[in-house]
Chain A
Amino acid sequence: MSNLRLINETTASSVTNLSITDLFSADFDIYKIVLNDLQISSGTWVEWNYINSSGSLLTSSEYDEGVLELQASTTFGESRSTNQSRHIRGLRGGSDASNLGGLVMYIFNPFSSSFYTFALTQSMGYISQGFSSKGIFVFTNTSSVTGINFNLDGQTFNNLTVKTYGLRVDS
C-alpha cells in the first residue's frame, strides 16, 4: 500500500468559499492537497484560512507568506506579506480565463500544538498570460488546526475539486 493516502475528496460548485473540516489529525504530519477542475467567476487569487476543531475559522493576523510569480510574457514578480488574516496567494487566475489550472500544496504539522503550520505551494493559472507561482507560507500560531477553508475574496467558485492526501510514516 502506498504511503500516500487519499483521505478526502470534496467537490463544490457555485460557492463563495469551501470549508473542509475534520481533515487534519494525529495520523499524519504532512498533507498534500490538490485543487483542480477549478473555475471561478472573476479573476483573483485563491486564498485560504485554517479551521480549528470547533469549526471556527482562524482569522487572527498571523498569516505570513512569500510568493514567486512566474509569468510567461513579463518579468517574474515577488509578493510578500506578514500578519495577514488569511493566506492570500495560492493560485492566480484572471477574468479572461474561467479555468484556473491547478494548485498543489503541502501542509506541515497542522494538527500539532507544538509547531507553527507551514505550507509550500506550486500553481499554474492564466491571467492574460500563463501565470505560475511558487510559495512559502506559515501560520504563526501553535494551536491545533483540523480543517481548511478556501475562498476567492468575494468571488465565486463555479467548480472546484479538492483532494487531500496524508503522507504516512510507519515507525
Chain B
Amino acid sequence: MGLVQVATNTVTSAVASVTLTGIDSSDVYMVTMSGMKPVSDSQIYARVTTGGTADSDNEYDYANKYLKADTSFSNDVSTNNDRWTPTSTMENNYGGYAMIMYLYNFNNSSEYSFITSEEAHIQGGTSTVRGLQGGGVHTVAEANDGISFLMGSGNIEAGTFTLYRQVGS
C-alpha cells in the first residue's frame, strides 16, 4: 500500500475550521491529525464537503466504541445529526489529539459517503486517555470532494491535518 498526499494544513494560529479537499477518484482516502489541540476543551466535529463547502444537513449517522483508561467503556451513537463527532471532549494542553480516519465512496455521486476512524486524546476533566473507534455515514447520494473539521466550541489552536490517497496493493 502506498499513500499519496492530496492536501495538508498546519495550523499555527487559531482558526475556526480546517478543510481538506481534492478527493476526485474512487480510491480510499486517509486523513491524519497530529499535534492537534483546541483553544479550549471541546469535541471536534467533522463534515463532508461539496464544492469545498461543508454540508451541515441532518444526514450524519455514527456509531463508536468509547475506550477509556480510567473507567468502563461505553457506546457513542447518533442518527440524523448535523455532523460526525469522532472524538469526545479533549483537553487543550500537552495532550494533543491523535487520529487516523479513512474515507470511502466520497467521489461516488450515487453512493453514501462513509468513514471509519480511530483516535486517542486526553479527556477534559479527567486528564486520562480516551478514544473513540468506529465509523459514520453521510446518508446523501452525492459526490463529496473533501472533509472539514471544526470544534464544538472555540477554535482550533494547532495541529497538522493531512489528506492522503491510498494507492497500490
User: A: which residues have CB within 8 A of B?
Assistant: 2-4, 29-30, 64-68, 78, 80-82, 106, 108-109, 112, 114-116, 118-120, 122, 134-138, 140, 142, 167-171
Contacts and interface: CB of A to CB of B under 8 A. Distances in A.
B126 to A, nearest CB: 10
Contacts of A169: 5, 8, 10, 160, 162
B72 interface: yes
A137 B73 CA distance: 15
A116 B97 CA distance: 9
B34 interface: yes
A78 to B, nearest CB: 5
Contacts of A66: 67-69, 73, 129-131
A11 to B, nearest CB: 21
Interface in B58-107: 65, 67-73, 94-96, 98, 100
A81 B70 CA distance: 7
Interface of B: 1-5, 8, 10, 32, 34-35, 65, 67-73, 94-96, 98, 100, 118-120, 122, 128-131, 133, 160, 162, 164, 167-168
Contacts of B96: 108-109, 115-116, 118
Given A120-B98, A134-B118, A170 B32 contact: no
A114 B117 CA distance: 24
B35 A136 contact: no
A3 B73 CA distance: 34
Nearest to B65: A68
A110 B31 CA distance: 19
A35 B111 CA distance: 36
A120 B131 contact: yes
Nearest to A29: B34
Q: Which 6 residue pairs across A and B have the least CB separation, nearest first? A: A2-B2, A136-B131, A118-B98, A108-B98, A136-B120, A138-B129
B34 A80 contact: no
A2 B67 contact: no
A3 B2 CA distance: 7
A140 B69 CA distance: 13
Contact of A120 (B100, B128, B160, B162): B100
A82 B127 CA distance: 11
19 contacts: A2-B2, A2-B167, A3-B2, A3-B4, A4-B2, A29-B35, A30-B34, A66-B67, A78-B67, A106-B98, A108-B120, A109-B98, A115-B94, A116-B96, A136-B69, A136-B133, A138-B95, A138-B122, A167-B162
Contact of B128 (A82, A108, A135): A82
B70 to A, nearest CB: 6
B35 A167 contact: no
A122 B67 CA distance: 13
A108 B119 CA distance: 11
